A and B are shown apart, each in its own frame.
Chain A
Amino acid sequence: MTTQLFRTCPESGLQFHRPAEWLMRANAVVAVVILLIGGLTAVGVTLTRWPAIHLLPADQYYQLLTLHGINMLIFWIIFFEMAVLYFCSSTLLRCRLATPRLGWVAFGLMVAGAVMNNLVVLRGDSSVMMTSYVPMPANPLFYLGLILFAVGALIGCFIFLGTLVVAKEEKTYEGSIPLVTFGALTACIIAVFTIASGAIILIPTFLWSVGWIAHIDAAMYRLVWWAFGHSSQQINVAAHVAVWYAIAAIVFGAKPLSEKVSRTAFFLYIAFLQIASAHHLLVDPGLSSEWKIFNTSYAMYLAVLASMVHGLTVPGSIEVAQRAKGLTKGLYQWLRKAPWGNPTFSGMFISLIGFGFIGGISGVVMGTEQINLIIHNTIYVPGHFHATVVLGTTLAFMSLTYYLIPVLFRRQLAFPALAKWQPYLFGFGMGVFTLMLLAAGTLGVERRHWDMAFTDSALGFDYPASAYTLMGIAGISGMAAIVGGAVFILVTVVSVFFGKRVGSESSYGTVTSRLMRAQPDIVPSGGHAAAGRWGFAAPGTFLFALFFLAIFVIYYAVNWKYLASVWPLS
């Protein structure tokens, strides 16, 4: 048996297994390179949809939009998630990573697949969007690239699961796995389901593209493809919620209000999150309303319930931790005195707010069976998923990266002043951008559409002037978010490759320490609630949650009212 080398980070106390550390670094670095490609394509897409600029010709716009979608929604996120999975298993559980060599095979397959897919789209014969809806054909290598990437990611998931087994077998931790690892396990289970669905649809589609299968049914393709396409975004939800809990723990020493509630909420994700892929099929022919209602509502909104629970317990755990430190004045002293200059915290908190208020509410509204009639395939849809995947997931991952640069890469953060402002610029730009797209979508502006002015069309249509204004503001705020993204890449690349070293190489050893249980609470007399109000441990968070609910209810009702104004249909 080979000797396993570990090092312990002196500041964080985290213990890194050397092969796992290199795998995490490699996956995170490639993720950021892909984020750069995605960001460059975002410039072209944003400036083309900004009506006053309308930069690119149609063919290039559709080509860049295809690249942007696949790189951002699949490659960037899943490469980063591989690093998160290895971190949450090997590092958090203080154990060796299972089969690190296979980890490099997985990494190699993912890189090969991503490169193949990008090159084929760049050649110009596969501008089919991320969804590649049949029977619109793409080059066979387009599908093959995705399949290779998925196989690699699947191997990564099994390495994560194998590492959990190793940790349990070698007793590297006491008791149950930490909540954050439980969240990563949730993400991993959803990922396995996602990748299996992807294989079920992409392998036949590949065979169809090379002529071995005669026909792929369009409705069947959509049903199975979305079990892949939407679920891949559900991996993100589970992963970024786990990252929120991790950052709350790292920055504040926060402890979940109760393990039972937070873990049950993750379990609800495993059980119900995937079926909401039906969101995409609400106005498709061939499906019954009973099927649509049950699936689109995650079986009675049980996964929405889970997200609403996390939305309370993450900031609630921060509030309790802050109150325990004596920040008990008023309802919000704990929040005012939070470290707003630390990008790890500010990014995480903006991610939480953006995901909940913009992404969450818009997602539930447009996923309502009948309301989807006024929203399907309008630019409202990208408005929604930029709030979930960009404000939510991407910003959460950026925040975690700021923490990982000294801890994992052992480099000092370069340009700390820029890093401090980055989450605000990115978050504010993206927040305004998403709100503009939601509003423009409500006016019927379409997604994936080169020209809202229809200048080359024999039959035109005039959108109201307000739609043009909204798309113009979306262009400006989108560019602000892109600048924010560029600052992130600048800070991380300079830090990782040119930053000042922290610690020394010789600190690796074979001695490891076991992960102990968290200290039991030192509960103030009268329980946590004594530090809060109204018998609530986290009264500020509770009031904030009620505010969220009020906005949710009002916006939901407004959309039913809007629906009632369109032509009667039956």
Chain B
Amino acid sequence: MSSIQPPSEILWWKQPLDRVEGTWIAIALVWSLIMFVMMPLWHVYGKQNLSNEAYRTTPEAFQAKTMAMVNEYTVRTETDQQIPVVRPPPGSDVYLIARLWQWWPMLELEKDQTYRLHIASMDWQHGFSLQPVNINTQILPGYEIVLTVTPDTSGEQTIICNEYCGIGHHNMVGKIYVTEGGS
């Protein structure tokens, strides 16, 4: 019963390591360091990294920027709610509003072009989950997160809210369409 008794040796910290422990610690430490180094390495060699570009904002300021984009680049509207579908030029700043319980507007992007996607919440916390490509970030009120994104698959992507935001949470769905380049 010795793990529930005081150590048998008075100077227990001077007991030598068992070989099985020493070997395993060495292996586990190497693995820990490899996992640690992988993250900075991916920043250098990998393509999926957050720039962590973010700004403080207010609902009014962010809404104004979004409205300006919508007014200039709307190509059509969809659903009974007449949600605008916006086709901003490649390379431009694109704005997406998260609010109870809607992603607004819808976006139409060109494949293999890069966009600066700004997202902010007008009210509570939301989760930006793009499916099926499966990219997930946190959206907060008061903060504007910027994702520099290059869609490399065409077709329809759905934005699902994956931060619980009240009773309409599961209906908070938006769309991003990716068209083949040059159209």
Q: Which residue from B32, B54, B81 sits with its C-beta under 8 Å from A304?
A: B32
Q: Answer whether residue A162 sits at the interface, using C-beta atoms and an 8 A cutoff.
A: no
The answer to whether B5 and A457 have CB atoms under 8 Å apart is no
Contacts of A538 in B (CB 8 A): 18, 20
- Bound-state CA distance A254–B3 (Å) is 7
Contacts of A446 in B (CB 8 A): 127, 129, 160-162
Q: Which of A147-155, A458-466, A472-480 contacts B (4 or more CB under 8 A)?
A: A458-466
Q: Which residue from B24, B49, B153 sits with its C-beta under 8 Å from A545?
A: B24
The answer to whether B20 and A289 have CB atoms under 8 Å apart is no
Q: Answer whether residue A211 sits at the interface, using C-beta atoms and an 8 A cutoff.
A: no
Q: Which residue of A lies closest to B121 (CB)?
A: A218
A373 and B48 in contact (CB under 8 A), knowing A283-B136, A517-B7?
Answer: yes
Which one of B3, B48, B50, B160 has the highest number of Cβ atoms from chain A below 10 Å of its Cβ? B3
The answer to whether A305 and B28 have CB atoms under 8 Å apart is yes
Contacts of B79 in A (CB 8 A): 458-459
Tell me the minimal C-beta distance from B103 to chain A in angstroms: 9
The answer to whether B170 and A300 have CB atoms under 8 Å apart is no
Q: Which residue of A lies closest to B25 (CB)?
A: A309
Q: Which residue of A lies closest to B17 (CB)?
A: A258
- Bound-state CA distance A545–B23 (Å) is 11
Contacts of A305 in B (CB 8 A): 25, 28-29, 32
Within 8 A of B (CB), among A297-335: 297, 300-302, 304-305, 308-309, 312-313, 316-317
Within 8 A of A (CB), among B72-107: 79-81
Q: Which of A20-28, A242-250, A385-393 contacts B (4 or more CB under 8 A)?
A: A242-250
A375 and B136 in contact (CB under 8 A), knowing A62-B164, A176-B7, A536-B19?
Answer: yes
The answer to whether A517 and B8 have CB atoms under 8 Å apart is yes
Q: Which residue from A58, A300, A304, A518 sits with its C-beta under 8 Å from B8?
A: A518
Q: Answer whether residue B180 sits at the interface, using C-beta atoms and an 8 A cutoff.
A: no
Contacts of A281 in B (CB 8 A): 138
Tell me the minimal C-beta distance from A380 to chain B in angstroms: 10
Q: Answer whether residue A53 sits at the interface, using C-beta atoms and an 8 A cutoff.
A: no
The answer to whether B138 and A285 have CB atoms under 8 Å apart is yes
Q: Which of A31-39, A106-114, A128-136, A501-509 contacts B (4 or more CB under 8 A)?
A: A128-136
- Bound-state CA distance A300–B29 (Å) is 9
Contacts of B10 in A (CB 8 A): 175, 517
Total interface residues on A, CB under 8 Å, equals: 119
The answer to whether B136 and A376 have CB atoms under 8 Å apart is yes
Interface of B is mostly: mixed
Q: Answer whether residue A219 sits at the interface, using C-beta atoms and an 8 A cutoff.
A: yes
Contact with A along B6-38 (1 / 0, CB 8 A): 111110110111111101110111011101101
Within 8 A of A (CB), among B138-178: 138-145, 147-153, 158, 160-167, 169-175
Q: Which residue from A136, A369, A378, A570 sits with its C-beta under 8 Å from B125?
A: A136
The answer to whether B21 and A519 have CB atoms under 8 Å apart is no
Q: Which residue from B3, B50, B140 sits with its C-beta under 8 Å from A178?
A: B3
- Bound-state CA distance A84–B132 (Å) is 45
- Bound-state CA distance A570–B50 (Å) is 5
A454 and B134 in contact (CB under 8 A), knowing A133-B125, A285-B54?
Answer: no
Q: Which residue of B lies closest to A557 (CB)?
A: B38
Contacts of B164 in A (CB 8 A): 62, 129, 133, 448-449
| 8 closest residue pairs by CB, A with B | A518-B2, A285-B54, A301-B32, A255-B2, A249-B3, A285-B145, A175-B6, A461-B158
What are 14 A-B pairs at a CB distance below 8 A? A178-B6, A285-B138, A301-B35, A376-B137, A377-B129, A442-B134, A446-B127, A448-B162, A457-B170, A457-B173, A461-B160, A536-B23, A556-B35, A566-B133
Kindly list 7 other residue pairs between chains A and B, CB separation below 8 angstroms, not including A58-B170, A542-B23.
A174-B6, A177-B6, A219-B143, A248-B3, A301-B32, A312-B24, A518-B5
Chain A positions near chain B (C-beta within 8 angstroms): 13, 58-59, 62, 92, 129, 133-136, 173-181, 217-219, 222, 245-246, 248-250, 253-261, 281, 283-289, 292-293, 297, 300-302, 304-305, 308-309, 312-313, 316-317, 364, 368-370, 372-378, 442-444, 446-451, 454, 456-461, 463-464, 515-521, 528-529, 532, 535-539, 541-542, 545-546, 549, 552-553, 556, 560, 563-564, 566-570
